[in-house]
């Protein structure tokens, strides 16, 4: 056969096949648009946390009318579902995509708490701080095993934001070290917003101040426990101060408190004694002052009566000659 005729024939066949190919493509695309949802798969990272569960996500998807074997893939609003999941206060991020098998895959990462904050002015209010020191509400279905810090109300001032970051840094440090994770039972923030540590053993209060130079402070404390307490009585100090560079300062605040109480008692006794002396002086002063006044008053009256009597006597004596002359 002539090659030219063969070429013309192939071209004709190709042209005739185009409608069929286009039709098949349109048909396949139409089927895809009408394809039902085959399944939903939820993948939650950091599964050691249980703030968000697979059932929570499936319920949220169902509440938004996305149902397996009923919902059409093309009608599922992926962006809307992602935003709905991100609204969950324990979700850090969410991603949803559709697979070639007409399934929906959902990937979720949970927010990770680092430290729990209990407010010391309200036993009912508490919250977590995450890696960025942002607050996370407590969950009714899961309690995270993290260090606990008791603190006054912390705001969003520069000082308080720094303190929150210090608490997260300290919590990370304690949990990374098996010894300190066991040794330190609680973290406390005092009214001056200074960090204090309460150990599981002993009655000492450890003044940390801030998380600045944290590794050096904790190494000094460890050296104090290993070396210092082997040569002195464990209960000799009830306060250990790590706030000063290259130092560990031990104090016995009970002695200071006893001295202050003794001084205060002495002041009260002295004030009481002075008051008693003053009252005695008030009681005795009227007796000494009134007697001379009464005597002086009596003498003056007597002197006045005597003068009056003398005047009357003189007047009578002067009138006697006159009366005698009249009688004559």
What are the domain boundaries of the chain?
39-110, 113-251
Are the C-beta atoms of residues 88 and 63 closer than 8 Å to each other? no
Please give the pLDDT value at position 328. 43
Please give the pLDDT value at position 179. 94
- What does pLDDT average to in each consecutive run of 10 residues of the chain (328 residues)? 62 62 47 76 91 94 92 92 94 93 94 94 83 93 94 92 97 96 94 94 90 96 81 77 91 62 64 72 62 50 59 54 45
CA dihedral in degrees (290, 292, 296, 297; nearest 10)?
10
Please give the pLDDT value at position 97. 93
| CATH superfamily to which 39-110 belongs | membrane protein fhac (3.10.20.310)
Residue 182 makes CB contacts below 8 A (sequence gap 6+) with 200
Please give the pLDDT value at position 12. 66
Eight-class DSSP state of 73: G
Nearest in space to 189 (alpha carbons), one of 217, 220, 147, 219: 147
pTM over 0.75: no
Distance CA 231, CA 227 (A): 7
Please give the pLDDT value at position 28. 42
Q: What is the CATH number of domain 113-251?
A: 3.40.50
Please give the pLDDT value at position 202. 78
Tokens of 232: 């002195």
Residue 81 makes CB contacts below 8 A (sequence gap 6+) with 60, 61, 64, 66, 96, 106
Distance CA 184, CA 174 (A): 8
Distance CA 169, CA 213 (A): 11
Distance CA 30, CA 71 (A): 16
- Is the CA virtual torsion 180, 181, 182, 187 positive or negative? positive
Eight-class DSSP state of 133: S
Tokens of 222: 């460890």
Nearest in space to 167 (alpha carbons), one of 145, 146, 182: 146
């Amino acid at each position: 056969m002539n090659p030219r005729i063969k070429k013309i024939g192939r071209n004709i066949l190709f042209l005739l096949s185009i409608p069929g190919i286009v039709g098949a493509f349109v048909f396949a695309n139409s089927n895809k648009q009408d394809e039902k949802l085959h399944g939903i798969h939820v993948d939650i990272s950091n599964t050691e946390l249980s703030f968000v569960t697979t059932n929570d996500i499936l319920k949220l998807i169902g509440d938004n009318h996305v149902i397996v074997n009923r919902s059409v893939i093309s009608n599922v609003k992926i962006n809307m579902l992602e935003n709905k999941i991100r609204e969950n206060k324990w979700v850090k991020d969410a991603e949803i995509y559709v697979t070639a098998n007409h399934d929906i895959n959902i990937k979720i990462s949970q927010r990770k708490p680092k430290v729990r904050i209990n407010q010391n002015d309200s036993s009912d209010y508490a919250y977590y701080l995450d890696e960025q020191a942002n607050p996370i509400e407590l969950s009714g279905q899961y309690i995270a095993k993290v260090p606990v810090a008791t603190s006054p109300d912390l705001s969003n001032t520069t000082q308080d934001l720094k303190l929150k970051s210090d608490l997260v840094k300290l919590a990370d440090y304690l949990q990374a070290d098996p010894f300190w994770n066991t040794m330190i039972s609680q973290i406390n923030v005092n009214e001056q917003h200074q960090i204090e540590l309460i150990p599981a053993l002993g009655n000492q209060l450890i003044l940390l101040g801030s998380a600045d130079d944290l590794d050096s402070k904790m190494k000094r404390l460890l050296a104090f426990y290993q070396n210092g307490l082997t040569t002195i009585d464990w209960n000799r100090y009830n306060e250990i101060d790590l706030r000063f560079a290259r130092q560990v300062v031990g104090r016995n605040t009970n002695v200071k408190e006893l001295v202050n109480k003794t001084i205060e008692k002495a002041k009260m006794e002295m004030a009481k004694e002075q008051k008693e002396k003053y009252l005695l002086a008030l009681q005795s002063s009227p007796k000494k002052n009134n007697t001379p006044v009464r005597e002086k008053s009596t003498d003056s009256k007597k002197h006045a009566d005597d003068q009056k009597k003398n005047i009357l006597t003189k007047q009578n004596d002067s009138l006697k000659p006159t009366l005698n002359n009249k009688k004559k």
